[in-house]
Amino acid sequence: MKTIDLDAIQQAQETLKGVSKKTPIVRSEALSEMCRGDVYIKLENQQHTGTFKMRGAFNRMSQLSPDERERGVVTASSGNHAQGVAYAAQQLGISATIVVPDEVSKAKLKKLQGYDVEIVLGGGFDEVEAKAREMAKVKRLNYISPYNDYSVIAGQGTIGLEIMDEVEHFDTIVVPVGGGGLISGIAVAVKSLRPSTEVIGVQTDGSSTMYWSWKAGEVLQVEETDTLAEAFLGGVEPGSVTLDICMAYVDDIVLVDEQTVADGIRLLWEEQGQVIEGAGATSVSPLLKNPERFYGRTVVCVVSGGNIEQSLFDRIVSRT
């Protein structure tokens, strides 16, 4: 796929029929009251593998030729995209090699080990992508990018179509941002059909590469630090198509602090009974941090995943 548009996202939706789940959208009474409006939450933590990532991975891998399928695929991921590729590989009968950071979440690694894939430790969060691409060249494998691929982006964009099918009108959609694949797909879908909708991306102070790159209009190398949103770590590779899409379709990207992310995890558990990882909870964080910005508006927050270490989750919800 050479570009991304509404037609590509609608084709991806057809490809994913019977494969991905149409995840629920629920109203948050607490956030609605706080913002004096209507706030809905799209629960992608209830997707296969506990995250939205299988949508893009399956859409991309379903397009491989017979020869490409025979050679197999390789990817780099801190955990969620890895599981998406592993799940798609299992469904499509394709062999997969997954390069993960040495410090990958134990919860995500354990889930990944449940698939018949080759797992390779690849160093730091900012090193795994280069290692996977090198393996693709040497072993003639097909590299499946977590975000820098139009077919992957189209798969993630199906979330936007699902939201518009269920919520008749919304003013704003808030989306977590790592490499930008999720918000790129959703923004193209939403802006194509409802161009007046405000699209807001969220990153944390510790993983802010897309935030600063979006402001600068070019991919920057930004130092990353420990963050509850560890799924965001790894930066954005030079030349990524997601930056151009974000520049064209995203209205704003905001940063939130770690405490507000923790508050979001806790709110989603206490109100909805949902176990959400840090990256997933960032979508409700701007509403907690600055509810006045959303007064009187109808807002949809995309909760992107729920793969969190149990011990970390327990500490956050118990405030210890």
Task: Write down the pLDDT at residue 9.
Answer: 98
The region that residue 203 occupies, defined by phi over 0 for left and psi between -120 and 50 for alpha, beta otherwise, is beta
Burial (CB count within 10 angstroms: exposed 0-12, middle 13-18, buried 19+), residue 270: exposed
Are 6-51+150-317 and 53-143 in the same CATH fold?
Answer: yes
- What is the fold of 53-143? Rossmann fold (3.40.50)
What length does the chain have?
320
Q: Express each pLDDT in 264-279 by its tens digit.
A: 999 999 999 999 999 9
Residue numbers in the chain where pLDDT is lower than 70: 1, 320
d(CA 259, CA 93): 42
Domain boundaries, the chain: 6-51+150-317, 53-143
Task: Write down the pLDDT at residue 1.
Answer: 66
Q: Express each pLDDT in 62-104 by its tens digit.
A: 999 999 999 999 998 877 899 999 999 999 999 999 998 888 8
Task: Write down the pLDDT at residue 130.
Answer: 87
Q: According to the CATH classification, is domain 6-51+150-317 in 3.40.50.1100? A: yes
Q: Which residues contact 168 (CB under 8 A, 6 or more apart)?
A: none
